[in-house]
């Protein structure tokens, strides 16, 4: 076993997570913490990534704030509820980032713009190269492109609507976050120093 760290070691790569439709069941412009429920596969998937030491960061477009449909503090309350549900599974989210703007604002943080990921990299001292972004929208995958990461589409939330687009570009598509998490775990095992027989990720991509 070598002590030399692989330059592109993805065994502890940061994992950026979309919130609505990925971590929690998509509800149109959700602002009520009592309406929060975790999507399928999320508990197991994040437990796995947390156990492997991947920093987990939530990056969420919340244009409902900019549209005046709810307040920033409502979005925070929803985040707090998600954090609470994840804490019950022993999962800690290292950072929460919300873009409150509408597309017309032309801000630098609304996905696929990289502002939230760049802020997280600065705040948490993370490397973005080789990171992962899991989400149910094209903007999540394009965020990954923008920061040198790999985008993983989940079919929950709005994911089915862009699954064909993603597959046509040979982008990985999964049933849910659990599948995406297992893919990351397998990729990390392959990169881990001293790994001789990496588990195959084949079958994970549908």
Active site residues: 18, 20
Does 99 engage in binding with Zn ion (CB under 5 A)? yes
State how far the Cα of 26 lies from the Cα of 38, in Å rounded to an integer. Answer: 10
Does 137 engage in binding with Zn ion (CB under 5 A)? no
From 83-91, 107-115, 130-138, 180-188, span contacting Zn ion (CB under 5 A): 107-115
CA dihedral for 124, 145, 204, 179, sign (positive or negative)? positive
Binding marks (x or -) toward Zn ion, 109..128, rule CB under 5 A? xx------------------
Q: Who's near 140: CB < 8 A, 6+ residues apart?
A: 18, 22, 111, 112, 133, 134, 151, 153
Cis omega before residue 27 (within 30°)? no
**Which tokens belong to 68?**
């005046």
From 10-18, 22-30, 50-58, 94-102, span contacting Zn ion (CB under 5 A): 94-102
Please choose, from the candidates 34, 29, 9, the residue with its C-alpha nearest in 3D space to the C-alpha of residue 19.
Answer: 29
CB of 200 to Zn ion, least distance (A): 39
Does 101 engage in binding with Zn ion (CB under 5 A)? yes
Does 158 engage in binding with Zn ion (CB under 5 A)? no
Residues that bind Zn ion (CB under 5 A): 99, 101, 107, 109-110
């Amino acid at each position: 076993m070598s002590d030399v760290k692989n330059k592109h070691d993805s065994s502890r790569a940061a994992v950026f997570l979309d919130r609505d439709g990925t971590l929690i069941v998509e509800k149109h412009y959700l602002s009520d913490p009592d309406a929060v429920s975790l999507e399928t596969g999320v508990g197991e998937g994040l437990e796995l990534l947390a156990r492997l030491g991947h920093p987990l960061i939530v990056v969420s477009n919340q244009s409902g704030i900019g549209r005046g449909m709810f307040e920033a503090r409502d979005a925070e309350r929803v985040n707090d509820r998600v954090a609470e549900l994840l804490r019950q599974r022993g999962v800690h989210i290292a950072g929460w980032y919300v873009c409150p703007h509408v597309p017309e604002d032309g801000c630098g943080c609304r996905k696929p713009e990289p502002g939230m990921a760049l802020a997280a990299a600065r705040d948490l001292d993370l490397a973005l190269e080789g990171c992962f972004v899991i989400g149910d929208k094209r903007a999540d995958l394009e965020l990954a492109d923008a920061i040198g990461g790999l985008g993983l589409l989940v079919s929950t939330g709005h994911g089915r609507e862009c699954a064909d687009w993603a597959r046509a570009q040979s982008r990985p598509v999964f049933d849910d976050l659990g599948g995406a998490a297992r893919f990351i775990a397998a990729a990390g095992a392959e990169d881990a120093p001293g790994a001789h027989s990496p588990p195959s990720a084949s079958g994970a991509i549908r």
